[in-house]
Structure 1
Amino acid sequence: MDTKQKRIVILGAGESGAGAAVLAQVKGLDTFVSDQGTIKDKYKALLNQYGIDWEEGGHTEEKILNADEVVKSPGIPCDTPLMLKLKAQGTPVISEIEFAGRYTDAKMICVTGSNGKTTTTSLIYHIFKSAGMNVGLAGNIGQSLALQVATKHYDYYVIELSSFQLDNMYKFRANIAVLMNITPDHLDRYNHCMQNYVDAKFRITQNQTPDDAFIFWNDDPVIRRELARHGLKAHLYPFAAVKEEGVIAYVEDEHVKIDQPIAFNMEQEELALTGTHNLYNSLAAGISANVAGIRKECIRQALSDFKGVPHRLEYVASVRGIRFVNDSKATNVNSCWYALQSMKTPVVLILGGKDKGNDYHEIEDLVRQKCRALVFLGLHNEKLHAFFDPMGLPTAEVQTGMEDAVEAAYRLAEKGDTVLLSPCCASFDLFKSYEDRGDQFKESVRKL
């Protein structure tokens, strides 16, 4: 078939879908976009600007089932009736990242993991940018990779990848792959089978060659167990908090040290980000930059002046001696564990939302040790009550929204405490996104 006549259908017209549509159109493909919901005005304007045919509020099956290939939004589950029809007739379904990767020869630095993805991705991008590299930021943050490939030219892309994006990636190759950790998350999308989720994360290493790098946290028991199963060809760069056999990056004598490929060290107290979880983020970012050949002075400077990521342990304000911290990006239990672990004061914890098959045992000890009180914020808080009520802590039940949750937490807190929004859950029961949830938290705190 002449590629000019190849029909590409894009399902979902958010950031990734609209970007994929522009790239398909620019490359001369017969392009159609279909969204079950309402397309945001900015994406409609983009599609119209490029003369792309689109529909919203439902899928016209005859316009979709005749596709040569479908680019699927990561948010669409694989078991919807339309997806099952496409599968039954053998239509290839790929992700926007897979599609974009065909049209660029830029080097790809890809980051995944249950926690730390956004901070590590942003930190790597900051180091590359500070060093004067021609670099784009894509994936779960920034502009879609496809839109950048269609409209710009970069030598490097730093890409945050979710398991959903990795699910539909087949030939895409990460020159540098970073795997932060693997803890239970999104199990509702993986038939409540942890191994399915683990396999999705390890897809970041597929297609890697001996010229490529695989950077990972050496102390993660799941990653350690899986290494042998995946026949990895890339050069391995394991990191850990302290020096141990096999690791190439660690802390020793209060210095961050990276042994390969080029010896690097800096004082740990110079790192802009504090806490154990951020040490891992800094090590992974430092190795990535080191592997890419960025000068030591540039890495050191960028690791010391990075400003952090919104909604990730973000200090908001202090009101009458009570600190408020926005960790809305903590959409799973392990993220909340890291947040609680970093707290130095008694905590009033706001948690709840759309449960993804969570197991709260992981934070049980930290809640007992650190929490003065709990605020359950969600439409369905029964599971939270069942797990946490037996601890005997004061609790507040809020189903109405963020302002009431912040006021309840404020009433329960004492001078010197921290009110921590670290929800353990997705935001979609009461909010548009974790960003919306965090923004409402900050706004509500400022109204106190």
Structure 2
Amino acid sequence: MNRNLNIVVLGGGESGLGAAKLAQKLGHSVFLSDRSSLSAENRQALIESNIDFEEGQHSEDRILGADLIIKSPGIPEKTPLIQKIRTAQIELISEIEFAARHCQGTIIAITGTNGKTTVTSMVHHLLETAGKNVALVGNIGTSFAGSIAEGDHDYYALEVSSFQLDDIIHFKPHIAILTNITPDHLDRYNNSLDEYAAAKLRISKNQDEKDHFIYCVDDALTNKYLQDYPLRAQQWQLSLEQSVDNGAQINSDGILQIIINQQLDMDINELALQGKHNTYNSMASGVAGRLLNIRKEAIRESLASFESIEHRLESVLQIYGIEFINDSKATNVNSTWYALESMQKPTIWIAGGVDKGNDYSQLAKLVGEKVKALICLGTDNSKLHAAFEGLAPMVIDAADMDEAVRMAYKMGDKGDAVLLSPACASFDLFENYEDRGRQFKNAVRQL
């Protein structure tokens, strides 16, 4: 891509802004188009960068005159404009594809339905602990392209969603980590789990024998779809339930063993994040570290010192012996399953929001064992009531977050935990899961 191109960026969020900045830095002609209104911050950034843009509309004639179009991940394939672009046979790629074409560093890419943000943060922390020049990018916050526009790094810990993988062509991470596959976002994939899984597995599409693919061999759906998916990369397995030849396992004495080159052993009680799902996360980042030849001492130090990310099983406060835990990032049932599975105290569970066709049956056993009360927070809680009345001793509704937190506090006893783990999207009462989590924390602090 040496010649000056006429590049159009569709979408003016973090991803689109980063792509536009990188395209401009590379000397291309750039036009950003967003059908919605831009945030004041991004609008100002475009003005300051002297990047041509429009908002509130798509000027189709100008867009269809592009040499290359970079699409933000939130725009579905079935959108009429995207179909017109396909018909016109204009090259259409994702922001991570564009960024990767201009990346000089080593890419460690992480995807999966749950755990990808934690694993990405762990990989970043591990490489920082080892003294490496590493950027934390992608779906986690800072766009991959935007980071490259600001300057090169030796390593990129890159969180990628299925939406971002939909429009890759040559994207090729040196290390790819697939945490798991569970049903989510099926409305984007014609209600097809097969299509959703195929999108996740695209992370390994261009890998070759010099690259590495890390996955959880205990995850039934991952195993199912890998049977029909060709992998050329070297494979590394994670398991809590069986022995593996290459990867990471737990032995009978509760020792985490990373079996790569010289074996690394670490007592699971030393891990900073506890719980079954977090052990998988620690395994994944530890295996990635060993594949990058990070010293065993640095890996142990990083896994023992990692601090939980905001809104993911984040301990907020203890008030009169009641622990308040913010797991607002749990926007699907499987994430909430992991949260409930990790609870070691009688739990008052706050859940609810926009139901994405959730099947709550997989939570029934855990709710019966661990939940002393369920507080439903959303505009329509009928499915939660139907699923859990009779399993939890009490199922009640709250009008807003302040009321939910006050209710939980009044119900709680010393030694209990109050867990916000919604299992639903946040768009009925909140702007997003971050807004929901911050409202929870503010309400707790006001008790």
Partner of 2:92: 93
Residues 1:132 and 1:344: Cα distance change in structure 2 (over 3 Å)? same
Report the Cα distance in structure 2 between the residues aligned to 1:90 and 1:240, rounded to whole angstroms: 44
CA contact (8 A) 2:364 2:391 kept: no
Shift of 1:369: 1.4
Shift of 1:43: 1.5
Amino acid at match of 1:395: V
CA contact (8 A) 1:372 1:413 kept: no
Question: Is 1:414 aligned with 2:413?
Answer: yes
RMSD: 1.7
Shift of 1:243: 4.3
Question: Is 1:107 aligned with 2:136?
Answer: no
Q: Deviations over 1:62-87 (max 9, x none)?
A: 22222222211112222222222222
Amino acid at match of 1:340: L
Report the Cα distance in structure 2 between the residues aligned to 1:393 and 1:70, rounded to whole angstroms: 54
CA contact (8 A) 1:348 1:417 kept: yes
Question: Is 1:311 aligned with 2:283?
Answer: no
Report the Cα distance in structure 2 between the residues aligned to 1:304 and 1:2, rounded to whole angstroms: 46
Report the Cα distance in structure 1 between the residues aligned to 2:320 and 2:247, rounded to whole angstroms: 46
Residues 1:92 and 1:390: Cα distance change in structure 2 (over 3 Å)? farther
Q: Please give the residue correspondences for 1:55-134 in structure 2 after superposition, counting only pairs within 5 Å.
A: 55-134=54-133
Partner of 1:386: 386
Partner of 1:145: 144
Residues 1:261 and 1:229: Cα distance change in structure 2 (over 3 Å)? farther
Shift of 1:147: 1.0
- TM normalised by structure 2 equals 0.96
Shift of 1:349: 1.0
SS of the residue corresponding to residue 424 of structure 1 reads coil
Shift of 1:152: 0.7
Question: Is 1:187 aligned with 2:221?
Answer: no
Amino acid at match of 1:364: A
Residues 1:392 and 1:298: Cα distance change in structure 2 (over 3 Å)? closer
Question: Is 1:14 aligned with 2:21?
Answer: no
Residues 1:392 and 1:105: Cα distance change in structure 2 (over 3 Å)? closer
Residues 1:246 and 1:222: Cα distance change in structure 2 (over 3 Å)? farther
Q: Deviations over 1:153-208 (max 9, x none)?
A: 11110101111111111210010000111111111211111111110110111100
Question: Is 1:298 aligned with 2:310?
Answer: no
Amino acid at match of 1:330: A
SS of the residue corresponding to residue 170 of structure 2 reads coil
Partner of 1:266: 266
Residues 1:391 and 1:149: Cα distance change in structure 2 (over 3 Å)? same
Partner of 1:288: 288
| Aligned residues with identical type, % of pairs | 48
Stretches of 4+ moved more than 4 A in 1? none
CA contact (8 A) 2:107 2:174 kept: yes
CA contact (8 A) 1:187 1:357 kept: no
Amino acid at match of 1:416: G
Report the Cα distance in structure 2 between the residues aligned to 1:424 and 1:181, rounded to whole angstroms: 17
Partner of 1:206: 205
Amino acid at match of 2:358: N
SS of the residue corresponding to residue 136 of structure 2 reads strand
Shift of 1:311: 0.8
- What residue ranges of structure 1 are gaps of 5+ in the alignment? none
Residue correspondences, number: 446
SS of the residue corresponding to residue 239 of structure 2 reads strand
Shift of 1:136: 0.9
CA contact (8 A) 1:352 1:378 kept: yes
Shift of 1:381: 2.2
Residues 1:372 and 1:26: Cα distance change in structure 2 (over 3 Å)? same
Amino acid at match of 2:168: M
Question: Is 1:329 aligned with 2:291?
Answer: no
Report the Cα distance in structure 1 between the residues aligned to 2:392 and 2:214, rounded to whole angstroms: 42
CA contact (8 A) 1:240 1:247 kept: no
SS of the residue corresponding to residue 272 of structure 1 reads coil
Q: Please give the residue correspondences for 1:394-413 in structure 2 after superposition, counting only pairs within 5 Å.
A: 394-398=394-398, 400-413=399-412
SS of the residue corresponding to residue 169 of structure 2 reads coil
Report the Cα distance in structure 2 between the residues aligned to 1:305 and 1:433, rounded to whole angstroms: 29
Report the Cα distance in structure 1 between the residues aligned to 2:62 and 2:412, rounded to whole angstroms: 56
CA contact (8 A) 1:406 1:444 kept: yes
Residues 1:298 and 1:245: Cα distance change in structure 2 (over 3 Å)? closer
Residues 1:132 and 1:392: Cα distance change in structure 2 (over 3 Å)? closer
Structure 1 residues 389-398 or 264-273, which shifts more? 389-398
SS of the residue corresponding to residue 227 of structure 2 reads helix
- What residue ranges of structure 2 are gaps of 5+ in the alignment? none
